[in-house]
Amino acid sequence: MRVLNLANVAGLKRGGGVHEVAFAYFKLQNFKEVDSHLWFPGSKNEEIEIREDLTNEMKIRIKALDTYLNPNYGLLKKMNFLKKELSDFDLIHQHGLWLRNSELSIAAARDNIPVIIQPHGYLEPFSLKMSSLKKKVMYNLFEKINLTRSSILIGCSEREVKHLRDLFPNKDIALIPNGVWRSFIKKEEKKKSLAEKRKMLFLSRIHPSKGIERLFLAFSKLNQTRQNSWELTIAGNGEAIYIESLKAYANELGIKDKVIFCGPVFNDNKIKLFDSSDLFVLPTYTENFGIVVAEALARSVPVLTTYGAPWENLHTTNSGFWVENTQEGIEDGLFEATSKSTAELEEMGVNGRELVLKDYVWEDIGHKTIQLYKWLLGEVSNIPNFVSLGNKKIKNKKMFKNF
């Protein structure tokens, strides 16, 4: 079986959650003796960076596609040549939407190659409202055809599957969660050293959708004693002008000295940052999954996030705080979290680690993609139990009917 994972973005610096998932699938499938490839619009340097630590056999299966202008536009060079190469694959698994590289999936579907589309949250209501005019243009130019011709969609949470079902009642949809590597999960439960201050961490893409301003305002409303006992670290990539606006806002709120911007962190530095933290906070407006939540829990760090992320099990497993997706909700949650003793937060962290071990380990999740591929290719007849079939008699809804 020869599979192409076609990602709209990849790499440590640009890739984010899309890269984490597409690269995990690529590695897992090759471990399972599937001839899996990974293509993405990008530079040769990004390709080299991603190939690091892979076997020689796997390295040659990663390709950065040359683009006109910035790779983020997805304007691929040699498009006709790339379309011819698609005939070498049995199946296309597209990660992400809204870039012209979707034309490769359209070409594959036209040649009767099954196409899976995994939106990675790009079709969530909040996401559709952002830059909606641009997305309307893209939708009418090519993405409507792409989604219509695809064989199946993948959602990574029950919430995302529900949203996809609302938009596409006639499409088959699979539920496959995201995860973390077993090697990333904390091996031992060592108590953190008693530092002078307890540490709160935000680690994600620094973007308005993540609600960082809401976190700053909530932190500023803690009483002075509580503020002085905590420090807040902001880690991640983002537009320089937006990061400067956040720094200015922290200064305006009087918490500039309590907030540390440390830039992006990767690999061992990311683990060290998690392990030095007492609480992870993701005050997001919307997430289709939130891999950073799973990563924090895997390192035994309790998590505070909003109803905008599909993590109700933080509440049911006592591994964190799942709060209203409002300013007031974040403020109440932060007050409750900072009221907990170190021992109580550590207990929550242990519960979170157990949750990840049970439900969110890549090595346990990866077999679902192969099971799905075999079903789509007719190698097995039984419908996977994580697939819900669409009603082919119902028309799909209009994507942008409400805005």
Domains belonging to the chain, first-starting first, are 2-179+362-388 (3.40.50.2000), 182-359 (3.40.50.2000)
pLDDT for 13 = 80
pLDDT of residue 28: 95
Reported as type and span, the H/E element at residue 95 is strand 91-95
| Residue 364 parent element (H or E) | helix 362-365
Determine what percent of the chain falls in helix, strand and coil, rounding each to the nearest 5: 45, 15, 35
pLDDT of 194 reads 59
Q: How far apart are CA 237 and CA 264, in angstroms?
A: 5
Question: How confident is the model at residue 402, as a pLDDT?
Answer: 60
Tokens of 173: 């949809």
pLDDT of residue 177: 96
- Check if the beta carbon of residue 26 is closer than 8 Å to that of residue 34: no
Q: Quick one: tokens of 40?
A: 């993405």
pTM: 0.92
Token pair of 196, please? 């002078």
- pLDDT (tens, 9 = 90+) of the chain, 403 residues, equals 999 999 999 987 888 889 999 999 999 999 988 999 999 999 999 999 999 889 999 999 999 999 999 998 999 999 999 999 999 999 999 999 999 999 999 999 999 999 999 999 999 998 999 889 999 999 999 999 999 999 999 999 999 999 999 999 999 999 999 999 999 998 876 555 556 789 999 999 999 999 999 999 999 999 999 999 999 999 999 999 999 999 999 999 999 999 999 999 998 999 999 999 999 999 999 999 999 999 999 999 999 999 999 999 999 999 999 999 999 999 999 999 999 999 999 999 999 999 999 999 999 999 999 999 999 999 999 999 999 999 988 888 888 766 5
Q: Give every strand in the sheet of 62-65, ordered side by side.
A: 62-65, 35-41, 2-7, 91-95, 115-118, 152-155, 173-175, 387-388
Angle between helices 367-376 and 16-31 (to 10 degrees): 80
Distance CA 92, CA 10 (A): 16
Q: What is the pLDDT of residue 16?
A: 86
Q: What is the pLDDT of residue 403?
A: 54
pLDDT at 230: 97
